Amino acid sequence: MLTGRRIVLGVTGGVAAYKAAYLARRLVEAGAEVRTVMTVSALEFLGPQTLAAITGTQPAVEMFRQPSVSPHVEMGQWAEAVVVAPATAATISRIANGLSDDLLSATILASQAPLVIAPAMHTEMWESPATRRNMALIRRDGHVVVGPGSGALAGGDLGPGRMSEPEEILAAVAALFAPGLLAGLRVLVTAGGTREPVDPVRYIGNRSSGKMGNAVAAAAARLGAEVVLVTTVAGPAAGVEIVEVETAEEMAAAVWERAKMADVAVLAAAVADFRPAQPSGRKLKRAAGPPGITLEPTPDILAGVAAMADRPFLVGFAAETGPVAEAIAKGKHQRVDLLVANDVERDDSGFGTDTNQVSLVTPDGMVEAWPVMSKDEVAGRLWARVAAMLPGRES
């Protein structure tokens, strides 16, 4: 899988550092040559001799106590991929802001190799505004983010922030070098909530952040697909063609044109069902009193793709506020190949969150409920399922 590949594994100071030992073992077993860099705080959680025994080389820890004159430059140039697992909030901040005040962050800054980051921290730290900003910068720079998952954390807490399992991180690293699960496929994804103008200033919209659709597009690109993302909330990712739109009408035109050339379409956008029939060309004034707004239906983008004579494999998303039975009915009515339903009333699922709890609904009405996990994890599992349903593909 990774025969002959040169991997730098960075280990930072979190309880999840114990998983780094197993990840190192799996990388070596996959054929990679692995060098490790440990932060000083990582030494409090994992002994360096453990990694030395697994990889055959001593971990590098400090910038100025190494045989090499420039250890960060040497390792950065040597690496074909850099993996940081676990990545603490402090290290994520360094990466996002281009700091180089320890050997690991300096190595990352000195390397042009792809970077895979597996965050791990308490829920409060993961959900803090600072970490959210830093993660947005990291994703915008095109780095691969794996997790975090949701589950038991240090101290007995439960919630998002759990480091992804080594097997999932290994798969993300392997995807950097292999054609991938979706190699040769043309994928179309939609994301974000549409904005339907009331006047040049105001609009009718919804709370969709576009995070789920962006995660689906990024995961498809990592797995080797040729990806087009039609979105109202651009979230650039490596290997993804971005088509920015604003209204349902614009999204429909972009999707229906590109769906003709797609093998798979995943319509994750939250499209407004109605729009003002006659938006004002000038800003409406308070002094004129409340306006009377007549609404009309927007184009049904999903139905339009489903009705195509030679349509792609079609995955729909249903943001519901009630029982999954409504999503089952929608899936049958819309004739999708797979429907992803989530209850947006949950605090840990739906609009604006980094996690999601979804249920897959098949055309025959079978429902498979997934646990709460990060949207990146949902995207990865979704593509594995789609690949298993496509002729000639397997997960």
User: What share of the chain in percent tops pLDDT 70?
Assistant: 89
Show which of 154, 177, 200 is a domain's final residue.
177
Whether 129 and 273 map to the same domain: the answer is no
CATH of the domain at 95: 3.40.50.1950
Q: What is the torsional sign of CA 143, 394, 28, 375?
A: positive
Q: Decide if 394 is inside a domain.
A: no
Whether 215 and 363 map to the same domain: the answer is yes
Average pLDDT of the segment spanning 331-352: 76
pLDDT tops 70 at residue 280:
yes
Task: Check whether the bond before 166 is cis (ω within 30° of 0).
Answer: no
Q: Which residues contact 110 (CB under 8 A, 6 or more apart)?
A: 72, 73, 75, 76, 77, 100
Q: How far apart are CA 15 and CA 63, in angstroms?
A: 23
Q: Decide if 352 is inside a domain.
A: yes
Whether 245 and 153 map to the same domain: the answer is no
Type of residue numbered 106 = A
348 versus 207: the higher-pLDDT residue is 207
Whether 169 and 202 map to the same domain: the answer is no
Task: Check whether the bond before 276 is cis (ω within 30° of 0).
Answer: no
| Residue 265 pLDDT grade (very low, low, confident, very high; cuts 50, 70, 90) | very high
Q: 235-238 long-range contacts, Cβ below 8 Å, gap at least 24? A: 235/139, 235/140, 235/191, 235/210, 235/211, 236/139, 236/140, 236/142, 237/139, 237/142, 238/114, 238/142, 238/144
pLDDT at residue 235, as a whole number: 67
Q: Decide if 395 is inside a domain.
A: no
Whether 81 and 207 map to the same domain: the answer is no
Q: Decide if 1 is inside a domain.
A: no
CATH of the domain at 291: 3.40.50.10300
CB atoms within 10 A of CB 271: 24
391 versus 358: the higher-pLDDT residue is 358
Task: State yes or no: is 356 an active-site residue.
Answer: no
Q: Which domain holds residue 71?
A: 6-177
Count up the domains in the chain and report the number: 2
Residues 147 and 377 sit within 8 Å (Cβ to Cβ) = yes
Mean pLDDT over all residues of the chain? 86
Among residues 206, 214, 342, 356, the one annotated as catalytic is: 206
Whether 147 and 255 map to the same domain: the answer is no
- Asked which of 25-29, 126-130, 391-395 is least confident by mean pLDDT, the reply is 391-395
pTM, two decimal places: 0.62
Which range has highest mean pLDDT (153-162, 261-270, 379-388)?
261-270
The 3-state DSSP class for residue 302 equals: helix
Q: Which of 85, 116, 92 lies closest to 23, judged by CA? A: 85
pLDDT tops 70 at residue 214:
yes
pLDDT tops 70 at residue 350:
no
Q: Residue 117 has which token pair?
A: 């980051």
Whether 314 and 203 map to the same domain: the answer is yes
pLDDT at residue 274, as a whole number: 93
Q: Decide if 86 is inside a domain.
A: yes
The 3-state DSSP class for residue 282 equals: coil
Q: Decide if 39 is inside a domain.
A: yes
pLDDT tops 50 at residue 395:
no
Whether 109 and 21 map to the same domain: the answer is yes
Radius of gyration of the chain (CA): 23
Q: 130-138 long-range contacts, Cβ below 8 Å, gap at least 24? A: 130/89, 130/93, 131/89, 131/92, 131/93, 132/354, 133/96, 134/89, 134/92, 134/93, 134/95, 134/96, 134/97, 135/92, 135/96, 137/96, 137/97, 138/92, 138/95, 138/96
pLDDT tops 60 at residue 191:
yes
Q: Decide if 133 is inside a domain.
A: yes
Show which of 121, 145, 177 is a domain's final residue.
177
Q: Which of 273, 251, 255 lies closest to 264, judged by CA? A: 255
319 versus 197: the higher-pLDDT residue is 197
- What does the chain come to in residues? 395
Whether 161 and 27 map to the same domain: the answer is yes
Show which of 153, 177, 201 is a domain's final residue.
177
Whether 118 and 137 map to the same domain: the answer is yes
pLDDT, tens digit, for every residue of 106-135?
999 888 888 999 998 888 888 889 998 998
Whether 256 and 323 map to the same domain: the answer is yes
pLDDT tops 60 at residue 393:
no
- Asked which of 24-28, 138-142, 226-230, 265-269 is least confident by mean pLDDT, the reply is 138-142
Average pLDDT of the segment spanning 243-262: 95
Whether 268 and 288 map to the same domain: the answer is yes
